[in-house]
Amino acid sequence: MSGPTKPRGFALITGASNGIGLELAHLMAQRGHDLLLVARSADRLATLASGLQLEHGVTVRHLALDLAAPGAAKTLHSYCQSENLPVSILVNNAGYGDYKPVAEADAGVLGDMLQLNVVTLTELSCLFASDFKRQGFGRIGNIGSISAFQPCPGMASYGASKGYVMQFTEALHAELRGSGVTATVINPGFTDTGFNARAEMVGHSITKGAAQAKDVAQVAYEAMMAGQMNRVVGFVNRLWAQSAQFSPSRHMLLWVAQWHLRDRSKSKANSAGW
């Protein structure tokens, strides 16, 4: 009896050196996918790639690249062409948040975040959707967030960037209908990864009960391979996302977010000896 057929082409995963992207790399290597792993940390990627090759017998390539740099999507796409890597799955996972009121934020950090979360994701989706359409098959998985469903005081631009990711991906999904290519937005809630440290949210009450990156990666993979349009990860997050569609609960969610922000400012003031 023959075993399961090997998946076609390479899966390109951005932000594969940590968190959800790292778990996706493990899961997809286990399922027999050849991989192209991208992030900034060259050493972590190299160690991961050789470990996955050894353990699962798949081909794993890696590229250290700052995807927040303007033109990064083109650089990555050209790399795949010049290296003859037949990509058939794109996972736009690299992204980060900044937990600060807009008036206290660093405008440069917000610009960098939007470049990564929005611009590079859009350009990569565009470049690879075109290739996938031509070849008649492919999967695009864009990692959004439940913060896409309502305005997020304290993470205003991050939430808005994920709102963009959701609307963009749903529209792309519709455009690709019937082409053999699908685009899926996966919206996780709080997940225990490096995200919280970068957003300066470690220990914050709203991160309590965070999901495990491995579980999120599993749901993301299944939704993307099944060609779903939008998948919210977790039952409670689905309720949250649905309730945010209604105006009264939207106002209540805004109030809760503002309350959390005040809570944060108070604890900062206390630690400053006020």
Ligand X SMILES: NC(=O)c1ccc[n+]([C@@H]2O[C@H](COP(=O)([O-])OP(=O)(O)OC[C@H]3O[C@@H](n4cnc5c(N)ncnc54)[C@H](OP(=O)(O)O)[C@@H]3O)[C@@H](O)[C@H]2O)c1
Q: Which residues bind ligand X (CB under 6 A)?
A: 15-21, 39-41, 66-68, 93-97, 116, 143, 145, 188, 190-191, 193-195, 198
Give the nearer residue to ligand X in terms of CB position, either 145 or 169: 145
Rounded to a whole number of angstroms, the minimum distance from the CB of residue 49 to ligand X is: 13
Closer residue to ligand X in complex, CB, 9/21: 21
The nearer residue to ligand X, 20 or 36, going by C-beta atoms, is 20
Q: Whole-angstrom Cα distance, residue 91 to residue 37?
A: 10
Specify which residues 11 forms β-bridges with. Answer: 35, 89
Question: Taking the alpha carbons of 234, 237, 239, 244 in that order, is the dihedral positive or negative?
Answer: negative
CA-nearest of 167, 162, 199 to 183 is 167
Residue found by looking up tokens 């992030």 in the block: 39
- Cross-strand partners of 138: 181
CA distances from 187 to 153, 190, 208, 241 (A): 18, 10, 18, 9
Measured from the CB atom, is 24 or 129 closer to ligand X? 24
| Residue (3 or 146) nearer to ligand X, CB | 146
Residue 177 C-beta: closest distance to ligand X, Å: 25
Q: Which is nearer to ligand X, 134 or 220 (CB)?
A: 220
Residue 109's DSSP bridge partners are none
Residue whose beta carbon is closest to ligand X:
19
CB of 175 to ligand X, least distance (A): 22
Which structure tokens are listed for 38? 């991208």
Nearer to ligand X, 135 or 207 (CB): 207
Counting Cα atoms < 13 Å in the Cβ hemisphere of 13 gives 30
CB of residue 60 to ligand X, shortest distance in Å: 15
| Contact assessment for residue 20 and residue 217, using Cβ atoms and an 8 Å cutoff | yes
Task: Give whole-number Cα distances, 165 to 128, 144, 147, 182, in Å.
Answer: 16, 6, 11, 15
CB of 66 to ligand X, least distance (A): 5
In the complex, minimum distance from the CB of residue 247 to ligand X, in angstroms, rounded to a whole number: 24
191, β-bridge pairs:
211
Closest distance between ligand X and the C-beta of residue 137, in Å?
A: 25
